[in-house]
A and B are shown apart, each in its own frame.
Chain A
């Protein structure tokens, strides 16, 4: 069974940092590029970042560029998102997700990040 399990969310003050993790199992993680997507409370879905299978290609959505860093450890089948300089508008559930063009579509259950003083 394929599983993506996010962790690392919590409450953080504006300007603070958090590191999210996504543990993958049930598929060959090292063969897949991976993404982070977020959803603010009561709002829609927003793609944030992509990393290729070898980490050679990385993309970011403009609003997080320079503040968030995506990375992965294929030996641990894990994906990460380092989030710095957090703002109130970063409050959201953060999902890791596989590429969505092909026949497979994997999403985690999400981890909630709340930025508040």
Chain B
């Protein structure tokens, strides 16, 4: 199975400042169809996961453009250009390229300093 490794695991941020988190996979996530199926999810306390980004960099409906995804191959990044209070939560990367199974990273916990 593909191992997804996130860093950092904890990310204290200042409101209005940028934040960035990384996700690395144990093998290339380029599918034979040419797509790279890497998603990012936000999970606020007490809530279900909400997908923010799919296929590395495509924003889901309703996701603000201050949130962006990038990367290729085995290295992927989620960036928040200006952190707001509503961004507090745990962020997970997930791969759906080499499936089954889907595999998730351990999560990066974003909190306000």
Whether both chains belong to one complex is answered with yes
Q: Determine which residue in A37, A46, A101, A110 has the highest number of CB atoms from chain B within 10 A of its CB, and name it.
A: A101
Contact A44 B96, beta carbon cutoff 8 Å: no
Contact A45 B104, beta carbon cutoff 8 Å: yes
Q: List residues of B (19-67) whose CB comes within 8 Å of A's CBs.
A: 35, 37, 39, 41, 48-51, 54-55, 58, 60
A104 to B23, CA, bound (A): 22
**When A44-B92, A44-B107 are in contact, do A105 and B51 touch as well, CB less than 8 Å?**
yes
Could you say which residues of chain B place their CB within 8 Å of the CB of A29? Answer: none
Smallest Cβ distance from A79 to chain B, in angstroms?
15
Could you say which residues of chain B place their CB within 8 Å of the CB of A37? Answer: 102
* Interface residue? A73 (CB, 8 A): no
Smallest Cβ distance from A116 to chain B, in angstroms?
21
Contact pattern, A 90-117, Cβ under 8 Å of B = 1, otherwise 0: 0000010001111101011110000000
Main secondary structure of the interface of A (DSSP, over half): loop
Contact B50 A107, beta carbon cutoff 8 Å: yes
Contact B104 A100, beta carbon cutoff 8 Å: no
Main secondary structure of the interface of B (DSSP, over half): loop
* Interface residue? B105 (CB, 8 A): yes
**When A44-B106, A100-B39, A101-B37 are in contact, do A50 and B100 touch as well, CB less than 8 Å?**
yes
User: How many chain A residues touch B (Cβ–Cβ < 8 Å)?
Assistant: 20
- Chain B's closest residue to A107 (CB) is B48
* Interface residue? B78 (CB, 8 A): no
Could you say which residues of chain B place their CB within 8 Å of the CB of A100? Answer: 37, 39, 51, 54, 94, 96, 102
7 intermolecular pairs with C-beta atoms under 8 Å apart? A44-B105, A44-B106, A47-B102, A100-B51, A100-B54, A101-B96, A103-B58
A interface, CB within 8 angstroms of B: 35, 37, 44-47, 50, 59, 61, 95, 99-103, 105, 107-110
